[in-house]
Structure 1
Amino acid sequence: MTERAIRLFGDPVLKTVSDPIREAHPGARALVDDLLDSVRLPGRAGVAACQIGVNLRAFSYNIDGDVGYIINPVLAEVSGEPALVEEGCLSVPGFYFPRSRYPYARATGVDLDGTPVEIGGEGLMAQAIQHELDHLDGKLYIDGLDQPTKREAMRLIRESDWF
């Protein structure tokens, strides 16, 4: 398929809770192909379907060369003491802010054939799972910033060239 343009902060699709993908959805295979093509670009750890303008529950990931996808993901487990990590987002380009995330996360879902899928891990994988699931729930990572950081983030975003 093709790499799709990333929707930017301010686009309503990014603040909308994504719908589950029903079995045998006619566009599911094309959506997954586009998600995989979109996440393979350098510097990308994950792409949620809403980021490419599709309000369905699926995301792709690219962590240390491990590229994959998950449909209808559910956060199954988080563990460890939440810690601040520098986080960015393709939909808020050019900015990184400290965001609290659990050091371990695991999600369950299905693949295109309906076979159960489980992804999980620590570090960047844990961060990506939490980040992409937030997208599917209509949240951006800046929504979870502490108030002083969020005020500064919003000021910088409003002053950015792309906003």
Structure 2
Amino acid sequence: MDIRNFQITDLDDVLRIQFQSFDDPYPVGILLELFNRGAGFLVAQVGRSVVGYVIFWIKDGSGHIIAIAVDERFRSMQIGSMLLDKAIELIIQNDIFTVKLEVRKSNISARKFYLKKGFKQVKYCKKYYSDGEDGIIMQYTISNN
């Protein structure tokens, strides 16, 4: 498996993965806007296939994980963990030591994954998502010693 920067030719695979993974996926225009504005956008590749991705942003002194997803056929293979680790590594290279993300209250497996990776729940947001579901803000603080 290789983790590399997203290329526009990866878009169809990213769209396929996000439609597998999210009830309310980002429209293609938003994904392209993030890419064009310089968001961190990494993909995991196995053979010739893109099997996962992570999108992150650095703003106002903190990193923000916008989206992370893995093809359902490749889950439980540590690909999501490796993508998240690489995103955090790149955020640290910018002297940023706080990473935040949002997760749906109902997404128990993702919440457990983030807790295992060292994130803490810092805020509960009622009706955060467009369908009215509550969200949880999670934060990871990187020790710089």
**TM-score normalised by L of structure 1:** 0.23
Query: Which one has more relative contact order, counting CA pairs under 8 Å at least 6 apart?
Result: 1
**TM-score normalised by L of structure 2:** 0.25
